[in-house]
Amino acid sequence: MRYFVFSLIALGALAGAAHAQGAGRGAEIYAQFCATCHGVRHDGNGPMAPVLLVQPSELSTLAARNGGVFPTLRVVQRIDGRDPLVSHGSEMPVYGDFFEGENTPLKTPAGQPILTSRAIVDMVAYLEAVQE
C-alpha cells in the first residue's frame, strides 16, 4: 500500500513539473508570438493593439470572465484557427503555421479531450498560470 501511495505522489509531482515546464515554454512562445498584440502584461495593450480593428483580449482574466473556469477549448480553438478571429485583414493568429504540429492530448476542466499541438498545450499551461 505504501508503494501505491508513493507512486501516486510521484506521478502527481511529475505531472506538476511537466505543467510548470509547459508554462515556462509557453512564456517564451507568448513573448515571441503574442505579446505584440496582447501586451507583456497580458492586458490587451501590446504595441500593435492600436492598429487592430478588433482589440486584443485581456488574457489574464479569461477564467474570471468565464465564471472562474479557464475556457480551455475556446482558447485552443482561437489559437489553432478553428475559431477564427479576423482582427486586421487576416485571421488571428498570424503565426498559425507555428502552432501546427503533432497531436498532443489536452483536457478541458470538464475532462473533454482535445488534440492539439505541443506549442498550444504549452501556451494553454502558461495562460492558465497567469490568471488573476
pLDDT (tens place) for every residue of the chain, 132 residues total: 444 333 333 333 333 444 445 578 999 999 999 999 999 999 999 999 998 888 899 999 999 999 999 999 999 998 888 887 776 556 666 666 778 878 899 999 999 999 999 999 999 999 999 999
Angle at 22 between CA 71 and CA 3, to 5 degrees: 100
For cell 480553438, what's the residue? 77
C-alpha cell belonging to residue 119: 506549442
Q: How far apart are CA 1 and CA 7, in angstroms?
A: 10
For cell 503565426, what's the residue? 95
**Helix 118-129 and helix 72-80, axial crossing angle in degrees, nearest 10:** 130
